[in-house]
Structure 1
Amino acid sequence: MNQTVVVELGSSRIKCGYAGESRPRRVLFSRGGIGRDGGEPWTVELDGLGDSTACKWTSPFRYSESPGSVDAIKSAYEWEKTLYPLLLHILTSILFVQRPMRHRMLVIVNDIFLPTNLRDALHKVALEYLSLGGLWIANGGPFESIHYLLEGMPPRSPNTGRAKAHTIVDIGTTESRVVVSVTGSSILESTHRVTISGYESFLSNVKELCNGAEHNWVTSLDDANKAVLAWSSSRHAETVSVQLEENKEPAQIRTETMVEAFHRTYLDFTSPSSLVFALLSCLLDCPVDYRRSALQNIVLIGGGSVALRGIGDGGITSHLQRAIRQACSGIEQEEEKKDDGPSAIASFRFQSLGKVANDAEIYYPDPLAADLAVWIGGSVMGALRQSQKYHKK
């Protein structure tokens, strides 16, 4: 068995297993379910042993809410109190590692660089408290592990060579992250974009649009999720029937509500909070030599991308491709929608990508599961035993 343990500390899931394996041994998630307040910690229940052994995990990666202050979320000591029971549980109760722990650990987190306090706490817990043989914190986070994975994958078509660059789009629970990855090099940090367009952000928009002045049917994100699932299975209907929490009788919800929420969250190129805006801004900052390849190889990963795969006609991939072409085509806005603010500027800012926009191709990293791809990339990294990157403090 490979002696490297791979742990992915995500914003809404924690995945753990051994390097060299094709899937994690266990996926830990919040007992609170969908729709928890992003400002509160979510709880990992340690095999039902009771609240006294539960780990309160607070994701430190909400940059869109508090840019520049992420390092102040917790002190190193507070992180130690969170990480020690979590990592001990992973090692002993899930992976059955026995003391003395000679294993090495590879940790992947949802950002390019860790907050200093979290990094210090990880070193202390892994190397001092747990006496692991080594610790590797992957700079670049999910993008580095996916980059590692894409480097080893064959060309998508036998008639084309290896791609010069990829655009990696990680759609998570609350946020989406975009970056360009260059083959044979690494990710381009200057192209990194974060936007509030995760799956729960989409559900929040559904909830807001469903609740008009005359009714308040959709009272939770769970309700919104039910409506979206009904829409996905009845996409050509004008209304969908949904059994909501507060209603004894099924509610009739117009599908145009979901369409508008979907457009607002992912396809509105005039809105800086939309996914397509972040994606095209990322490509604008990409060196010209890599732009065409980056547009031809847009890879969707993350649990949010899985949930959106069957949305609408053709799923999110076809909708995003059309939005990219529309944003770069230079078509002027309708007269009544024009204004003098950011929207008017946004309608023209992406025209420089027009010559390559028609080449845009968006796909999933099949046959790998998009929501497991980051962990699998870490598994490959650990299996290749890059011993020079393991270090002790």
Structure 2
Amino acid sequence: MAWNEPGGNDKDPWGGGGGNRNGGGPPDLDEILRKLQRKLGGLFGGRSGAGGGEPGKFPWALIAIVAAVLYGLLGFYQVDANESAVVLRLGKYHSTEASGLHWNPPLIDSVTKVNMTEVRTERTTGQMLTEDANIVDIILQVQWYIDDAEAYVLRVADPLKSLQEATDSALRHVVGSESLDGVISKSRGKVANDTQERLQEYLDMYQTGIQINVVNLTEAKAPPEVQDAFDDVTKAREDEVRLQNEAQAYANEVIPVARGRAQRIKEEAEAYKTKVVELAHGETVRFEKLLQEYQRAPEVTRERLYLDTVQTVMSNTSKVMVDVEGGNNMMYLPLDKLAQGGADSAIQRKHVSPAVIEEVSDRVMERIRTEVSNNRRNRGTVR
């Protein structure tokens, strides 16, 4: 039965006794708050009674609840995907939190967030002494990132200052082991690599939590006072390299040609050797066969050899002079003129063929043979 229905005796659920002060209207809000305050005061040790609590008392319990809620809410924090959070509890290392939503008790824990993926750059400049007691101006860039959040936050007081000092120390050690020429031109890459290795050793030894990504030797030059002299040296070195390259190119061009020519001469010599040997072998076989024929018919073979020799000699000359034994006249045969005249006549007349010229030549040779034979016969008769 509702409290305000008939027969309900007008009982107020808020404990107000028999009836509403407002004559049956809705309950008074101030009265409700006072009753709630009295109940809370009773829970937290305050005095309560039918007549209400002490007037003017401050609501400490409500403030405590609100403060507790705010305290709980302030303890939540978010760690991004590229970050790590180092948690200290009462000033002592507690944990390292990964990305996500976390809670820690405020005023008890302190949280330091560190970006683990950002690549930072440090730049170092200065004049340094080389191994050969020369001074060089150097500009060096170091790219690095945080590898260990706990070490970066807690192990060293100032990681950036430690990085700068370690970079300067490593660079001076490496430059002091190289000559000026090497630092400026020949060994720039080696200087950068050695500096990175030594710098990483220093940082690991100091437990800075820093990882070196790359070291770039952006500039290395002599001091301005002697820069002109070093420019001349650099130009001379470039000329030296250029001349060496040109000489090498010329050698690459000439040597293969010379080798090919030598190979060709060698092969020609081998061919000539083979030719001479084969010709000598052929002449030997021919001579042996002629010897056999000569032994069978000396006169015929001697006559044949004589005629073959005359034919060979006459075939290689354009003029022939025949001295007949026992005669006073010498026969002159200008074969080149005869051949030329016969060819011109054949071209002009168009009825003299090469066969006619060959027939004339045969007749001349036959006449010469006849005269030689008659002379020999006459010579034999006189004897």
Question: Scaled by the length of structure 1, what TM-score is found?
Answer: 0.15
Q: Kindly name which structure, 1 or 2, has the bigger radius of gyration based on alpha carbons.
A: 2
By relative contact order (CA 8 Å, sep 6+), the higher-ranking structure is 1
TM-score (norm 2): 0.16
More helix by share: 2
